Amino acid sequence: MIHILMNELTSYQVYGLKKLASYRKKFYGSQLAPISNHGTLAATDMLIKEFIEIFCEHNFADSDYSIIQDEPMRFDTVEEWIQQASVSAILKSLTYFIWTDNIVDGYFKERLESRILEKLLLRLETAIKEEYIAA
């Protein structure tokens, strides 16, 4: 199993990870309610587009989905898996959401509304902090 470690990333990519993690607050706001519940559809679509652009600009796409297919099966819930997910697994999950949205219109927005994206971004924030402490 390959895990991306913070020391394997460029400073530009670390900056990109932090930008992606910051979208948790942009998507869910201070009340932590999905923006689609209190914002306009156009605003939600614009935030999603910005998020995807940052993801792609920093070259995070990784379509080796074996980790996200196998690892969650070892846990009772997806939430338990997310709580320990590596940066690599988070990026693979985000890649899956983005690419699937190209085939299934609204897939990414469904992940936003189901709060799975919130949990992944929160875990990304934590993983970034853990890596800095370990380094």
Cα–chain-centroid distance for residue 75?
19
Instruction: Note the pLDDT tens digit of each residue in 13-69.
Output: 999 999 999 999 999 985 444 554 555 667 889 999 999 999 999 999 999 988 888
**Average pLDDT along the chain:** 86
Instruction: Note the pLDDT tens digit of each residue in 89-124.
Output: 999 999 999 999 999 999 999 999 999 999 999 999
pLDDT at 115: 95
pLDDT at 130: 81
100 φ, ψ (degrees, to nearest 5):
-65, -35
pLDDT at 35: 53
With a CB cutoff of 8 Å and minimum separation 6, the contacts of 56 are none
40 φ, ψ (degrees, to nearest 5):
-85, 160
